[in-house]
Chain A
Amino acid sequence: MDEEEQRILNLFLNKDETAIAEAAKRYGAYCRSISYNILGDKRDAEECVNDTWLKTWNAIPPGRPRRLSFFIGRIARNLAFDRFKAKKTQKRGGEAQTVLLELDACLPAAESVEDSLLERELARAINAFLRTLPMSERHLFIARYWHGEPLAQIAKRFGMRENRVKAALFRTRSRLKIHLEQEENPDERKRYNER
């Protein structure tokens, strides 16, 4: 965390009235881009960002994040996703609908898996999986599935053709699915590794 980020975090921790204004100034564009990627609607995104500051104000303290920017980004992401789900309007959705469809096939369909892999466990498994990936593939995954960036934008930023981005993400999702199946069934993982 850089000095400025620490300074803003301290404002929140000390319940200093300027905390929200300072956070809005520094992280406003960041949160708007996250929210807009999910919602695809400027007004909804803006409302999410406004909610983000209040959520942050209420969450710190007791929360004491190691990285304020990611903490705030997660709040914006969660709020935008909740709003997206509440609206259930595919026409107004941004990238979220497509991203969800892509992710849907990654989790094994078996009920046992759904029941047993709680979200925290799932997050742990995803983090472990990401650490096995080459950096470039990890970054593509984060761009698409954390930030919700459109494929064309990712292709442009990474200097790749869009179909190559698609193919790389497809491969990563396939590997993620195998990884999650193995997480669910360690015996299966053992058998797989022994092959």
Chain B
Amino acid sequence: MNGSDTTNGKNGISALASSTRGDRLYRAIGRIDDDLLAEYEAAGVRPAAYRGLKRSGALAAASAAVLLALLLGGRLGEDVRETEQAQAPIVIASAEDASVSSIEGSYMPPEDGSYFYFEAVRKALDKHAGENVNYFVEIDLFADGSRLAVSDPRTRAEVNRLNKLGLDVGYSTVWTYAGTTKKKDYVYVSGTFTEEKLRNFPAADEIGYAFRFAADKDGTPDENDSAAKRIKIK
């Protein structure tokens, strides 16, 4: 099924006769096979978000709902009232699917200005889409393809920037091994986000982000769920 079959009124001979060669080729390229597009998407890190265009998921959904209400003479009011019945959100901080480990292997660093979710986070987002749920995640920060240490000034600056945007971001700890038997704390950048905030993350142009569920070295999830358990870094 090709989207242009049903949406482009300019297909066919009349359109070809009236358009330039570049136009025709451009429209034909719109029909590139799904498997080639899927291969392309699977191969790369998600393109940088178009921050200037971003709207919140809630706003987009509300806008779409208005469109549909106009289309159907719908019952928008009831739906809005339902969603306004706020309850304390459940916090998800670890993989719910046992087949998805909290500890995940190597990965391509995200480009500056872009972000991606580890599989466990992505699955949780998909599973709980639209639910009253918060996500407590570890945020790996990158610049120019290199991971930034927590002590890096750019990390501090980014955490401050996100805080100023009203996001619940800070520092937390899990333990890791020091040598073969001793344990030591490992500090990481953490955040508690709604689905909407996570899906429309306000990435900085010069930083790349990877979101994962934090876990101790043995895979035990970090169940800190708010700034209350965060540590302070001087």
State A159–B30 Cα separation when bound (angstroms): 25
> Interface stretch among B33-41, B84-92, B179-187?
B33-41
Chain B 103-132, CB-CB to A under 8 Å as 1, else 0, gives 000000001100000000000001001100
Residues of B within 8 A of A17 (CB): 68, 72, 74-75
Whether the Cβ atoms of A104 and B68 lie closer than 8 Å is no
Whether the Cβ atoms of B53 and A36 lie closer than 8 Å is yes
Q: How far is the CB of B36 from chain A (nearest CB, A)?
A: 6
Whether the Cβ atoms of B29 and A21 lie closer than 8 Å is no
> Interface stretch among B10-18, B135-143, B165-173?
B10-18
* Cβ of A59 under 8 Å from chain B: yes
* Cβ of A149 under 8 Å from chain B: yes
> Interface stretch among B55-63, B147-155, B212-220?
B55-63
Q: How far is the CB of B107 from chain A (nearest CB, A)?
A: 15
Residues of A within 8 A of B99 (CB): none
Whether the Cβ atoms of A57 and B2 lie closer than 8 Å is no
Whether the Cβ atoms of B30 and A77 lie closer than 8 Å is yes
Q: How far is the CB of B216 from chain A (nearest CB, A)?
A: 30
Q: Look across to chain A and name the residue whose beta carbon is closest to the beta carbon of B23.
A: A100
Within 8 A of B (CB), among A81-120: 81-82, 85, 96, 99-107, 109, 114, 118-120
**Number of residues from A at the complex interface, CB < 8 A:** 78
Whether the Cβ atoms of B43 and A33 lie closer than 8 Å is no
Whether the Cβ atoms of B53 and A42 lie closer than 8 Å is yes
> Interface stretch among B44-52, B156-164, B221-229?
B44-52
Whether the Cβ atoms of A82 and B74 lie closer than 8 Å is no
Interface of A is mostly: helix
* Cβ of A71 under 8 Å from chain B: yes
Instruction: Say whether, besides A127-B33, A145-B29, A23 and B40 are in contact (CB < 8 Å).
Output: no
Residues of A within 8 A of B200 (CB): 29
* Cβ of A189 under 8 Å from chain B: no
Q: Which of A23, A53, A119 sits near B24, CB closer than 8 Å?
A: A119
State A3–B228 Cα separation when bound (angstroms): 36
* Cβ of B100 under 8 Å from chain A: no
Whether the Cβ atoms of B13 and A118 lie closer than 8 Å is yes
Q: Look across to chain A and name the residue whose beta carbon is closest to the beta carbon of B43.
A: A139
Q: Look across to chain B and name the residue whose beta carbon is closest to the beta carbon of A125.
A: B28
Whether the Cβ atoms of B32 and A119 lie closer than 8 Å is no
State A149–B8 Cα separation when bound (angstroms): 21
State A114–B111 Cα separation when bound (angstroms): 41
Chain A 2-36, CB-CB to B under 8 Å as 1, else 0, gives 11100000000000010111111110110011001
Sample 13 A-B pairs with CB under 8 A, ordered by A number. A21-B62, A33-B53, A54-B67, A65-B1, A71-B1, A74-B30, A78-B7, A82-B8, A119-B31, A123-B30, A126-B28, A126-B31, A157-B48
